[in-house]
Every structure is written in structure tokens, then in C-alpha cells.
Amino acid sequence: MRAMRIIQPVKEMQDFCDHNRKTGKIISLVPTMGYLHEGHLNLMREGKKRGDCLVVSIYVNPTQFGAGEDFEKYPRDIERDAEMAESVGVDVIFSPASSDMYPEHYQTFVNVETITQNLCGLSRPGHFRGVATVCCKLFNIVKPHVAIFGQKDFQQLAVIRRMVEDLNMDVEILGMPTVREADGLAMSSRNTYLHDKEREAALILSRSLLHAKKLYDDGQRDTAGILKVVTDSLEASPLVRLEYAKICDVVTLKDVTYLGNATVLALAVKVGATRLIDNYVFGDTFDVSC
């Protein structure tokens, strides 16, 4: 088995991927901000199945963090990440410097419009401009045939799919189900911020989603009724501050009043100082790949 490579210069990464494409290899990409967990590794395992060359990007992208957010304290440990990535057969880690990604006089950004005006887009202005821009750059640098994202960041997945379709990008976008801890908490690098009482309080997210699923399975289709149950549950915890609980169309991310197979319940809360998101897609007809 070949040793995993770590590449930092953009030009070197482009040359590596050009060579692999010319030799007929399928390139799969898993974009991450590092501090890997089992959810990331699950995406990588799928990437290994989907391609001949698996690239994982590790880059804490400054343009998707707003003023006062956690860019500076976001957990970073490239040595730990490299060991984890190599354990699942990653071929290359692409870990660029910001000076290479956003050099002096940089001024070009990708703005995906309507779909970013709800959910996290309301409270994090500019966030999805940063997400779309860095993913566009990663697609241009790595030139993947398939890029794999987790469904926990549902709006991010929807935004990337919209960008790829609108800009005629030649890359398949695959979404993978959320990976959870044994107690139901969605895996996230930000979970490391939680102290013990906050970690316990955070379980209300997945429990609220399960309650909503039960209501749906029992025949409830009115979104107002489901949202009231969910918000009452979330607001009952003194350590949890609700940012939003919404039920939206999975494609447009517009609020809906009737719950169908193409709808998603999306949650965002602050548990102490830590912002967490989670979601549940109702029904079983939604295909997260495109």
C-alpha cells in the first residue's frame, strides 16, 4: 500500500490530480475543516469505494466565519488528523495555507442567493458565500469526479448542490447520513467545546428530532403542531438557547406549512457558548446525491 501524501501548495495539488485524471483514475474528495471524527471517516470510507484516488482537504476556511465566531479557537491537530485519515486509506491530504487560497488582492467570491436566505443564512450572514467559494476553489484545484458531504450540515449540502448545478460543474455531489454518538448526539468537531452538563443538555436535539419523527409516523402533517412540540422541548432546557426550528422544502429550503416526503426539520441552538445544528428528513424518498 502506498504511503499517504500531505500536499500543501495549490499548484502541486493541481498537478497531482491532473496526472491522476490523465491516467484514467477516478478522484473522490472529502472536504473537511479537520479535527476529524467518525463521521468524517465514514465519508472517507465511502470516498474510497467511489474512486481510485481519495483526497481529503483539511482547511479551516476563514471566509465562512463571521465576526465573533470561533475561527481562532476552532480545534486543529493535523498530526492526529493524518493518522486517522491514513487508517481508512486516504491517498492524499490537501492542507493549503490561507496565503495560497486567498492571496493578496483576492476579490472573487461565489454567492448562492435565495437558498442561503433561511436557516443558518439568517444568523450567519456571509457564511455560505465563504462555503460556496472555498468549495468552488477545492473543486477547481482537486478536480474530483465525486465530492462527499455529510447530511448533518443540510443547508451546506443544499447550497453546494445548487452551485454545482447552476454553474454546470462536472462533479457528482454525494450526501451521506449523519453519524451519531451512541447516545444520539450528532458528531461534530465543535462537540469538544461542551463540558459535561452541556454535553448532556445537547442530547435534546436528537430527542426532539425523534419526537418529531414519531409524530410524523403517527400521521401528523401540520408543521405548526410539530414545531410547537419541538420548540417547547428545546426551550425547556436552561442550558439550551433556541436559534431556529424550521420545517423546509429540501430543495428550496423555504418554510412549508404541510409536511411531505421532501421536507426537512432543521434545528440550530446554542448550548452554553457552543452552536450546534441537527436535522431530520421526513419520509424515505429523498435522494441526497445528485
pLDDT, mean of residues 8-36: 98
pLDDT above 70 as % of the chain: 97
Mean confidence (pLDDT) of the chain = 95
What's the pLDDT band for 210 if we cut at 50, 70, 90?
A: very high
Model confidence at 13: pLDDT above 90? yes
The number of residues making up the chain comes to: 290
pLDDT, mean of residues 126-130: 98
C-alpha distance from residue 40 to each of 24, 238, 283 (Å): 26, 31, 25
Q: What is the DSSP annotation of 243-288?
A: EEEEEEETTT--B-SB--TTEEEEEEEEETTEEEEEEEE-SS----
At 182-192, the pLDDT tens digits run: 999 999 999 99
Q: For 23, which DSSP code?
A: T
pLDDT of residue 283: 77
Count of Cβ atoms closer than 10 Å to residue 140 Cβ? 11
3-state secondary structure of 98: helix
Q: Answer whether 121's CB lies under 8 Å from 155's CB.
A: yes
Q: Answer whether 168's CB lies under 8 Å from 142's CB.
A: no
Lowest mean pLDDT among 29-43, 63-77, 227-241, 251-265: 251-265
pLDDT, mean of residues 256-260: 90
pLDDT of residue 288: 39
Q: What is the DSSP annotation of 153-208?
A: SHHHHHHHHHHHHHTT-S-EEEEEPPPB-TTSPBP-GGGGG--HHHHHHTTHHHHH
pLDDT of residue 284: 59
pLDDT of residue 241: 97
Q: Answer whether 156's CB lies under 8 Å from 124's CB.
A: no
What's the pLDDT band for 1 if we cut at 50, 70, 90?
A: low
pLDDT of residue 29: 98
Model confidence at 286: pLDDT above 50? no
At 63-120, the pLDDT tens digits run: 999 999 999 999 999 999 999 999 999 999 999 999 999 999 999 999 999 999 999 9
Residues designated as active site: 40
